[in-house]
Every structure is written in structure tokens, then in C-alpha cells.
Structure 1
Amino acid sequence: MERAHTLYSPALRYFVAVAEYGSIREAARQLNIASSAVNRQILSLEEEFGVQVFERVGRGLRISEAGELLLQHARTVLSDFEAVNEQLDDLRGIKQGIVRIASVESVADAVLPDLTQSFHESYPGITLEVTITSSEKVSRMISSAAAHIGFTFNPPDHDTLRDMVSWELKVGAVVAPKHPLAKKDKCTFQDCLKYPLALPAGNLSLARIIDVPLSKLKSKPKSFIKANSLRFMRSMARKSDYVTFQTVLGIEAERKAGLLAHIELTDKDIPCDRLVVLTNSTRQLSLAPSIFAKHAEKALRDYISFN
């Protein structure tokens, strides 16, 4: 956002950075300027508006109610400028720009490395900024225009969210090759209860899916752990007799290497996990994000049809 320096005061940009990074020191490090310069601009901003935008708590900072109000405005202003800036680049036909991507872990593991590499070969002047986070945070980043393209599962219905494309992926049991269940092509959720379980924590979309059969049990599984990382749960399955539950997305390398097996669950009441490519419905994608979105859709179609 180099051109924003010309139109917007440092105080506004430094304020947003401090709010996002949670401290003056970290904001200064990210901005590559002195902490004293950031602090001076924050104090100037507070003096200008006559309110405290941050509350000093011990050695840290906490954004105030007034600060939250200003932050919302500042993000809107800077985001709107970036959108205009991208449109100006489009008019000039410049093959440059920024695409901000928010993705859940499984898509980041399975698809994004090859996708970003192939995209950069075609468009080396376009910068890709990738954030790996939870499914809920992906939706929030798209809704707030903090990201252009989102890869997530089961996003909420919201006026600011638009599904570009989606796929229904079946959830299966994931186990080590020597696990007794690995000999089966299909199994039931009840079959899995004979073994310790690695279950998704509440911030994962998978948790809502697995909660369906769990809620029908008369008692909790005897042995289980909960985790917010699909990679960790796969590791538990790979190194022990634990059973975890995931789609095929993100585990193909371990399957091909003979490290994991994916067994279809035949339970009719277990819903599919819905993979969605999200954009903000209130904003038109500029050229760079639009081109990336088309590349992403093709890459995901190829991946899902192949696996």
C-alpha cells in the first residue's frame, strides 16, 4: 500500500498497525521504523481527537472503545483506497498487485503450494499474501475485506459473503495402515468407538459434523483427545491406534506414502464437509484477485477429481 503514504497521514496507518499487532514495538518492527516514531504518531492522534485510542495495561496496550470506532473507519478508508488503486492498475494494464488469501489448514497443505507456484510462473509481478487460520476467521477476513479470496469449510450465511464455487466432501475415518480398521473399505462411526479418538475442537468446521453422531451416543467415548489442528490429529493416527475423522483433502501425500488410510463412513446422518471458495459480495474483485480466483478454482477442481 505504498501509494497510501501519499494520501493518508502516518498516524492513521501506524494506529492500524498497532491495533493489529498488539504493541508499538511489534508494529514498528513490521513497519521497519523506530518505536519512538510510532508512539509519537499515536500520541498525536489521541491529542487530535481528544480521546485515548489505547489503554495502557501494564507493559501492553488494549484498544479502547473510541479506538475500536476509529479502527473500523481506518480499515474502511485504507481498504477502499486499495480497491481504487487496484482499479487504476487495471486501467493501466499493469501486471502487478496484491492478492490477500485466507485459508484453512487442509487447503493450505494440499493445494496452495502448487497453486501459488504455478500462479507466480504466469504472473511474477503479483504478490500473494497468505494467512492460514480457522474456518471462522477466514469468513471474518473476507467479510471485513481483510482478504480477497478465502478457502474454508461450511461458512455462515452472511450478506457480505459470496460462494464462488463449492464442493461436498465426504468425511471418513483416518487411521494408520496397520490399524484394524485399515483392512476395511467402509466402516461405521460405531466401529470407530472401539479405539481412542482424536476429535476436532470447536473452532474447526469438522467439529460440527462429528458432533452429529457424538450427540446420539448415550455416553462419551472412553478415550479421546480434542485438537484444533488437522495435522496434529493425523499425526496421532499415524503414530498410534487413534482414529481421527477428515476428508481426503490434505492427506493424499500420506496415503500415497502408505502412512495413513482413509475409510469411508457409511453412517447416513454424518453430513459432508462443504469446501467453499469465498469472496466479499459487496466488492468487485480487481484484476489480480480475479485472475487468482480462476486459477484456484481450476486447481481445486483438478485436485478433487483426481483424488
Structure 2
Amino acid sequence: MSTTAAPAGSQIAEITSSDASLRRFLAGLPGVDQVGAEARVATLATRSIKTSAKAFALDLAIRMIDLTTLEGQDTPGKVRALCAKAAHPDPADPTCPPVAAICVYPDLVPVAKDALTGSPVHLASVATAFPSGRSSLDVKVRETADAVAAGADEIDMVIDRGAFLAGGYSEVFEEIVAIKRACVSPSGGPNAHLKVILETGELVTYDNVRRASWLAMLAGADFIKTSTGKVSPAATLPVTLVMLEAVRDFREATGRQVGVKPAGGIRTAKDAIRYLVLVNETAGEDWLDPDWFRFGASSLLNDLLMQRTKLRTGRYAGPDYFTLD
């Protein structure tokens, strides 16, 4: 796959100094070879891993999950139960690792914060008028700041796709910058990490995915994320390939590493392992870590637990053995 003709770190400020320079840079990114991207993904998807390597991959995938509940019917009880599962996914097996994070709506952050006390699990909150992104900047900033003040240490924001598709790159850039500022901890502790959701299913083309990835990273994103999970298609392997190439090239250009989070539609251990192979072969081993790669999922965890039990005991536990999320 072709790499991006990327700027040196010292050129970033110049690129983002005006609408014209930002537009010129994004328009100058090389186009994505759609046939090549899809063919490479198809080839990598045939890779098979067995025994100890599979056991490692299953545990790694569990450690990379952002266990998510983002429904209008979410209750404090459901969030507390999900937090318990996040910390101890398989209570019958103390060797099973915890997931990376819980992701909830902003009003349920205090509930999750209390439930996760003493746990290594991170607390993420969606913000910025999720999932549509259709609200004023003031409202988006306030929602983000409130979630951080309530205890969220990760924020998943969604970009204004309408503005992006209309060519309003500077508008999207400035909004990400403003949300990044709102991620500053009011207590002087660590700032919340910012994951920027591109909603790739609405961006239509791989070229747009590449441009949006670079735009988000230039604006300060700590992670770039495929989807809200509310739009189809959500995460796909080819889209994730394009985003992995972008973060790889961005680090080469600037020295700053940015994470990637595919979200939506990843339901089986086989799917997760395909993504891990893609990460390793595209961005490299440095991204094979929960600090740099996450799965946004609700149903994936149970299948990983079933496959893990099969490796350990020789038999499937069955889908009703683990709690339903």
C-alpha cells in the first residue's frame, strides 16, 4: 500500500494555520487504491493462528475491548453490572484479564465511576451530541467538560460529518481542538484522552477516510475511531487498514503515536483476530497494545470468553454461560 507524503513535525503548525493551507494539504494526500486495499485485507484475513499464539491473541483482544452500552434504556443497574463484568469478565477464571474500558453516556459517568473504584478499567464517555454530532459547539464543549469533571478519563467525540463532506475542514478541525481543550482535568490530574469518531460509513470513500484521519490527528486526537455503531456499515477491515496506514505515517512524520479504534459490528473472536493480524502487518507491533488499539464492542467479549474456555478446557461453555450485556 502506498504511504502518505507526510509533513515534518515542524510543518504541522503551518499546515493548520489557515483554511487554505489545511485544504491544500488534505487535498494533496495520495488517493487510496481501493482494489489494492481490499485485496490486501482479503489476503490477511486468511491467516490462521493456533494454540499458544491464539491464547495470547484472545487475552489481548479482551484487554483491548471498550465494553459499551449506549442505549436509551440504559439504567444505573445495567451500568453497574457491566462494570463488574469489565473488571472480572470470567468470575470462574481469575486469570482472565479485565477489559480496557467501559463506555457510557455522560449522565451515567458518575455511576460507572463509583462502580469501577479500585479497578484498572478506564472510564470512557461519548460526547458532542453523540451519535449525530448535530449541536452547537458550546453545547458540545460543555457536555465534554461535564463528563470529564464527573470522572471520565476518555472522551469519544463524533465529528460533524455534514461539515466535513461540505468541505468545512477548518470547522471540523477547530471543533476537535476545542473538545481537546475541554478534556483538561479540572482537578489538575491527567487529562482525558480524546478519541475522535469519524463515522466512516457516512464518509463514503476511502479517500475521505484518509483525509478525516489526518484532520483528526492534526487537531490533536489521541485515537481515531471508525464508528458510533449506530450507522451501517460500521467498522470494516479495509477502512481500518486505511486508518492504520494514516497513524503509521503520522508517527513517522511527527514522532507522535495515535491509536485506532474500530467499533461496531465486530462480534466474534475470529473477527477480532483478523483485526489484530491487520494491526501487526500494517502499523506494527507497537500498536498491539490496549494503549494504542481498542475494539468498541458489546457482544464481542462473550465470544472471546467462549473461545478462551474452549482452549483451556477442551469444550465450549455455551453462550448462556456468560452474562448477556
TM-score interval w.r.t. the shorter chain? under 0.3
| More strand per residue | 1
TM norm structure 2: 0.23
Report which structure shows greater RCO (CA 8 Å, sep ≥6): 1
TM norm structure 1: 0.24
